[in-house]
Amino acid sequence: MLLQLIFLLLQCAVKVIETQDSIQINCVCQVEMILRALEYEMEQGKVLDEFFFSAAGKFRTAIGKSWAAEISSRRNSILARKQN
């Protein structure tokens, strides 16, 4: 819940001025947030599916989409290993 609030606040701050730079910064911030969420999951043993579902599809740059896909793939691998 806290991570979602921070994520939304960052989105709102960047959307005030919508330039190519702000779009790229927004993607970097979003990638950082999902990385932090993944770290939190690993450290705390929690599953933050709701957060990851809400973040999916929000990336507007090719590199942001690529990074998000890689993080998602790694997260799925980690979750699959934990289930076995």
Q: Which tens digits make up the pLDDT trace of 28-46?
A: 888 999 999 999 999 998 8
Instruction: Supply the Cα-derived Rg of the chain in whole angstroms.
Output: 13
Report the run of H or E that residue 46 belongs to, with start and end.
none
How does residue 1 score in pLDDT terms, banded at 50, 70 and 90? low
Mean pLDDT score across all residues of the chain: 84
pTM for the model: 0.72
Nearest of 54, 29, 50 to residue 41 by alpha carbon: 50
* pLDDT the model gives residue 58: 84
